[in-house]
Amino acid sequence: MYINGQWIEAKDKKKFSVLNPANGKVIAQVPDGGEAEAIMAVAAADKAFPIWSSRTAYKRSSFLYDAHRLMMEDLESLAQIMTEEQGKPIQSARNEVRYGADFLLWFAEEVKRIYGRTISSSRSDQRFIVIKQPVGVVAAITPWNYPMSMITRKVAPALAAGCTIVLKPAEATPICAMEIFKLLEKAGLPKGVANLVTALDPEPVGRVFTTDKRIQKLTFTGSTDIGKMLAREAAGQMKRISLELGGHAPFIVCKDADPIRAAKGLSLVKFLNTGQACISPNRIYVHSTMKESFLKMLKEKVDLMIPGNGMTPGVKIGPLVNEAEIEKVNSQVKDAVNHGATLVTGGFRIIDNELDKGYFYAPTILDNVTKEMRIYREETFGPVAPVITYEDEDDLLKMANDTDYGLAAYVYTKSYSTAMKFFEGLNFGIIGINDINPTSAAAPFGGMKMSGIGREGAFEGIEEYLETKSGGFSLNT
């Protein structure tokens, strides 16, 4: 673990194993921290805060520029570590490293755009001045599905704002986090400014994050249930929170859309990271008149996807994260088929070619999915595309919005007016209009309803780590 500028073991010397999800082999043993280590990290961050927050924006910017350069220089080695630990195909891992580095670069620039303002007063002898200041010590919890970019998406704006931070990465992918912190150390980060606590059991660390008064903000990416629990506990001290939670994205193919282009787009975004993405489409609405051509193209694309170890050239489908996810995905598919869905392709665990040692599920297409099926309501964190037939486009908005989630949505149409109608009418934080990649370090990322609170990326991302302070100055001395 990295605490107060030093790499240390757990106090009791405990460790836990990290497995390669493609073959079940142990990659490494990492320190198994807990409450004691979390308290140490918070103390270090609290001590470092006055010094780091007093650094000029330009000095904090220079550090982030250096971190960005180092991350890009180590792109290939970082990508290989990610593929081994998380399982995604190597090209996807390379793309994630670039995406993660983008946040370091963006906030290296955004830190110099933290502006205050003056406000007119009704009194001639009074002036109002507003400034932005860092909130203080930040606690961050990141997920396993994007194990590097989700770290930089939180660490970069926090450091840019002048905050110090304690990070607990997902227990499935601590090595990726360790590699990012090695880069931060190499870039010259002062001791205590960023701290890393690895733990197999997240509960004791999370308890420190929600109860320690020195922590002023908690940021979390993960499941909605855990996010709600953390929010309840953090409310006891009125901590500021940012939550990026689950999604259940609709993918709408309008009647005027090109079904072939839409199917190609869906094949790319649905099976990205083996469907293990919070913005992955989970409800695919296709008009009955174009469903045949849409499904034909989608099946052609899906049948060409090669599953396997992400290090193998040509592999497009990596493993799921663990056995529990295999069981969840398979149970949703079985439930849908039992309730009348048609299995177009896939629908089984892959056990040939020695893939039985990992957690592989065949890329799957389900047709004739209805509201009575679990997969229509539950988020599917796996490679399953559920297709829903519709007749009346006027009902699409209502159907798409009929969910507790509100993170991402996708619309394919040739009509500008239709695009604007859905962009304004969909209750989701991120909308892709004929676009399967509506994300960037420069664009705000976050959801509505049960999909979270706050935004990451863009100028909104740094605002999450800043307090607004106003001063009224009387000129009568």
The pLDDT score that the predictor gives to residue 97 is 98
User: Which residue's entry shows tokens 């990465």?
Assistant: 169
At 139, which CATH number? 3.40.605.10
Residues 197 and 293 in one domain: no
Residues 285 and 210 in one domain: no
The reply to whether 201 falls in a domain is yes
Residues 160 and 263 in one domain: no
The pLDDT score that the predictor gives to residue 354 is 87
The pLDDT score that the predictor gives to residue 20 is 97
Residues 226 and 296 in one domain: no
Residues 272 and 139 in one domain: no
**Computed from CA positions of residues 64, 66, 70, 72, in that sequence, does the dihedral angle turn out positive or negative?**
positive
The pLDDT score that the predictor gives to residue 282 is 96
**CB under 8 Å to 326, separation ≥6 — which residues?**
320, 349, 359, 361
Residues 49 and 193 in one domain: yes
CB 396 within 8 A of CB 287: no
Residues 91 and 64 in one domain: yes
Dist. CA 261–CA 249, nearest whole Å: 19
Residues 95 and 32 in one domain: yes
The reply to whether 445 falls in a domain is no
The reply to whether 350 falls in a domain is yes
The pLDDT score that the predictor gives to residue 394 is 85
Burial of 304 (0-12, 13-18, 19+ CB in 10 A): exposed
Catalytic residues, by residue number, are 244, 278
The reply to whether 205 falls in a domain is yes
The predicted-structure confidence for 327-344, as pLDDT tens digits, reads as follows 999 999 999 999 999 999
What is the DSSP code (8-state) at residue 369? -
The reply to whether 446 falls in a domain is no
The reply to whether 152 falls in a domain is yes
Residues 143 and 272 in one domain: no
The helix/strand/coil state of 238 is: coil
The helix/strand/coil state of 323 is: helix
The predicted-structure confidence for 265-298, as pLDDT tens digits, reads as follows 999 999 999 999 999 999 999 999 999 999 999 9
- Among the listed residues 250, 212, 210, the one whose alpha carbon sits nearest the alpha carbon of residue 377: 250
Residues 200 and 278 in one domain: no
The pLDDT score that the predictor gives to residue 393 is 86
For the chain, 477 residues long, the average pLDDT of each consecutive 10-residue run is: 98 97 96 98 98 97 98 98 98 98 98 96 96 98 98 98 98 98 97 98 97 98 96 96 97 97 97 96 96 97 96 95 96 97 97 92 97 95 97 91 97 97 97 97 97 97 98 93
CB 358 within 8 A of CB 22: yes
The pLDDT score that the predictor gives to residue 133 is 98
The reply to whether 129 falls in a domain is yes
Residues 20 and 160 in one domain: yes
Give the Cβ contact number of residue 120 at 10 Å.
Answer: 8
How many domains is the chain built from?
2
Residues 30 and 102 in one domain: yes
CB 320 within 8 A of CB 22: no
The reply to whether 330 falls in a domain is yes
Give the CA count within 13 Å in the CB-facing half-sphere of 176.
36
The pLDDT score that the predictor gives to residue 65 is 98
Q: Is 270 left (phi over 0), alpha (psi -120 to 50) or beta?
A: alpha
What's the domain range around 287?
A: 249-440
The pLDDT score that the predictor gives to residue 328 is 96
